[in-house]
Amino acid sequence: MTASVPPPGPALAALLASRRDGHALPRDFYHDASLYARELATVWHGGWLFAGFAFEIPNPGDFLTLDIDATPVLVIRGDDGAVRAFHNVCRHRGSQICREPAGHLRALVCPYHSWTYSRQGELVACHGMHDGVDKSALGLRPVHAEVVVDLIYICLSASPPPFGEMRARFEQAGAPQGFDRARIAKSIEYDVDANWKLVWENNRECYHCLGGHPQYVKSNFDIVDEEHASAELRQEIAAALARTNAQWAVADDGAAHPKGGLATFPDADRDLWHTCNRTPLAAGYATESLDGTRVSTLMGDYADADVGVLRMRSLPNFWLHASCDHAVVTRMLPAGPRGTRMKSFWLVDQFAREGEDYDLARLLPFWHMTNEQDWEICRWQQKGVDSVGYVPGPLSQRNEYNVDAFIRWYLKQVRAAA
Ligand code: FES
Ligand SMILES: [Fe+2]
């Protein structure tokens, strides 16, 4: 993921070596500006990032934009129907070109001096320039883009990591959900005053869920561990899993984490940055809603509600939970050493109509509430780990194995060199 980044200097190398095995990260990991710069260069500029949905930009000229910290990127559908990404930076004197989060354009016209680019990124006009300007050498700088089950991924690196395994996994697991037949019922952006790693670490454990998410834990078995589950509960999970797996097994990743608790992810040793799995819902829950009853019409290939929850994730910036009737996709973008910009998208079937098939008042709360609870947790943790009084504590091997896995994966990325 980090092919062209030189090795860290002595100070950063010392910081990267300072993590004690099995423990949380030391203080400077959560606010050091030079480390953050290295994270941008390695993790964020080196990896595949979820940007948005192909169905958001169905027609030539439709675009969306996003900022990876200070790097603005434009994703646009070209006249040939292909989804492409470009640096959203003019080749003249560098002005940002598109300033809107999304829209439609006949051509890309830089607002500063009107240099004009086609929807394929070619410079087509630069009135007022002298003769001899080679327009063919001044097209917008491309960014790698891939689309899998209508999820658009981009990579800023000149040599992106292989995408094929990810494509195969997401296509196999994601196809039944019908992302290509979905639409966004609502999206919400959240500015979280916390380092992006705190957000991931919190996402990778449910140790906090009983106290932190009283509504969330009723719907699933994330807080159950094999050692402490009763025989009846184990039987309930096994039965629910068997029903779900019979129809919707996710090959390779396993249909679910069979012991309860969170599926193991990531895997630093295998450099595994993407997985999918499907987990059963608790008795009485047809979907992830506050009362467990359905909140919209069925999505994709689902003929009934008994599909559990499809979970897909990719580092460094994407996770989703998809039930029979809706999916909640969450995108993370870094916004400084102490800031993370989150955006959640609530997807429903493309033909579902607000007020008839779904109400936002019933669709949103489960994950909006869970999100806000998590962001609050992260804000307070940032305050604590910023303190000179913070000393990294031990991670629970039973409940925080994925936090440890995330940290090991992360360290591998930022240490990596040419
Ligand atoms: S900076 Fe874009 S036209 Fe001058
Ligand atoms: Fe949480």
- Where residue 245 falls among pLDDT bands split at 50, 70, 90? confident
The response to whether residue 126 sits with its C-beta less than 6 Å from ligand 1 reads no
Q: Are 285 and 360 in contact (CB under 8 A)?
A: no
pLDDT at 352: 98
The residue among 253, 260, 248 whose CA lies nearest residue 323 is: 248
The residue whose C-alpha atom lies closest to atom 4 belonging to ligand 1 is: 113
Cα-based angle 388, 394, 396 (whole degrees, multiple of 5):
140
pLDDT at 87: 98
pLDDT at 263: 79
Instruction: Evaluate if residue 257 carries a pLDDT over 90.
Output: no
Compute the distance from residue 209 Cα to the ligand 2 centre, in Å: 6
Helix (H) or strand (E) holding 33: helix 33-39
Q: Are 199 and 319 in contact (CB under 8 A)?
A: no
In sequence order, the β-bridge partners of residue 154 are: 49, 145
Count of beta carbons in the 10 Å neighbourhood of residue 5: 18
Which of 89, 93, 127, when mutated, tests ligand 1's pocket best, judged by the most ligand atoms within 8 Å of its CB?
93
Instruction: Evaluate if residue 250 carries a pLDDT over 80.
Output: no
pLDDT at 217: 85
Instruction: Evaluate if residue 109 carries a pLDDT over 60.
Output: yes
Instruction: Evaluate if residue 153 carries a pLDDT over 50.
Output: yes
Q: Are 409 and 268 in contact (CB under 8 A)?
A: yes
- Where residue 254 falls among pLDDT bands split at 50, 70, 90? low
The response to whether residue 240 sits with its C-beta less than 6 Å from ligand 1 reads no
End-to-end CA separation in angstroms for the chain: 10
Q: Are 308 and 256 in contact (CB under 8 A)?
A: yes
Lowest mean pLDDT among 2-16, 111-125, 318-332: 2-16
- The number of angstroms, rounded, from the C-alpha of 113 to the middle of its chain's C-alpha atoms is 36
Distance CA 315, CA 307 (A): 25
48-91 confidence digits (pLDDT tens): 999 999 999 999 999 999 999 999 999 999 999 999 999 999 99
Q: What is the DSSP string of 106-143?
A: SSEE-TTT--EE-TTS-EEE-TTPPTT--GGG-SPPEE
In sequence order, the β-bridge partners of residue 278 are: 310
In sequence order, the β-bridge partners of residue 83 are: 77
Half-sphere exposure of 390 (CA within 13 A, CB side): 18
pLDDT at 279: 86
In sequence order, the β-bridge partners of residue 358 are: 354
The response to whether residue 140 sits with its C-beta less than 6 Å from ligand 1 reads no
pLDDT at 265: 85
The residue whose C-alpha atom lies closest to atom 3 belonging to ligand 1 is: 113
In sequence order, the β-bridge partners of residue 67 are: 72
Structure tokens at 144: 């790698």
The response to whether residue 93 sits with its C-beta less than 6 Å from ligand 1 reads yes
- Where residue 2 falls among pLDDT bands split at 50, 70, 90? very low
The residue among 253, 229, 236 whose CA lies nearest residue 398 is: 229
pLDDT at 418: 40
266 preceded by a cis bond (ω within 30 of 0) = yes
SS (H, E, C) 185-240: EEEEEEEECCCHHHHHHHHCCCCCHHHHCCCHHHCCCCCCCCCCCCHHHHHHHHHH
Q: What is the mean pLDDT of the chain?
A: 93
The response to whether residue 172 sits with its C-beta less than 6 Å from ligand 1 reads no
286-314 confidence digits (pLDDT tens): 999 999 999 999 999 999 999 999 999 99
Q: How far is residue 181 from each of residues 61, 259, 299, 351, 388, measured CA to CA in Å?
A: 20, 33, 8, 8, 51
Q: How far is residue 316 from each of residues 174, 200, 290, 332, measured CA to CA in Å?
A: 19, 8, 29, 8
Q: What is the DSSP string of 315-377?
A: TTTEEEEE-SS-EEEEEEEE-STT-EEEEEEEEEETT--BTTTB-HHHHSHHHHHHHHHHHHH
Q: Regarding predicted confidence, which is higher, 259 or 330?
A: 330
Strands 62-68 and 71-77, bridge-based pairing: antiparallel
Position in ligand 1 atom list of the atom nearest CA 95: 1
- Where residue 226 falls among pLDDT bands split at 50, 70, 90? low
pLDDT at 233: 81
Ligand 2 (single-atom ion) residues, CB below 5 Å: 374
Say what angle helices 365-385 and 196-203 make with each other, to 10 degrees.
Answer: 120
The response to whether residue 92 sits with its C-beta less than 6 Å from ligand 1 reads yes
pLDDT at 218: 86
344-365 confidence digits (pLDDT tens): 999 999 999 999 999 999 999 9
Instruction: Evaluate if residue 255 carries a pLDDT over 50.
Output: no
The string over 83-103, giving b where at least 16 C-beta atoms fall within 10 Å of a residue's C-beta and e elsewhere, is: bbbbbbbbbbeeebbbeeeee
C-alpha dihedral sign at 322, 166, 342, 61:
negative
Strands 123-125 and 71-77, bridge-based pairing: unpaired
pLDDT at 253: 59
178-200 confidence digits (pLDDT tens): 999 999 999 999 999 999 999 99
Eight-state DSSP code of residue 28 = G
Instruction: Evaluate if residue 401 carries a pLDDT over 50.
Output: yes
Position in ligand 1 atom list of the atom nearest CA 114: 3
Structure tokens at 388: 């000179």
The response to whether residue 116 sits with its C-beta less than 6 Å from ligand 1 reads no
The response to whether residue 115 sits with its C-beta less than 6 Å from ligand 1 reads yes
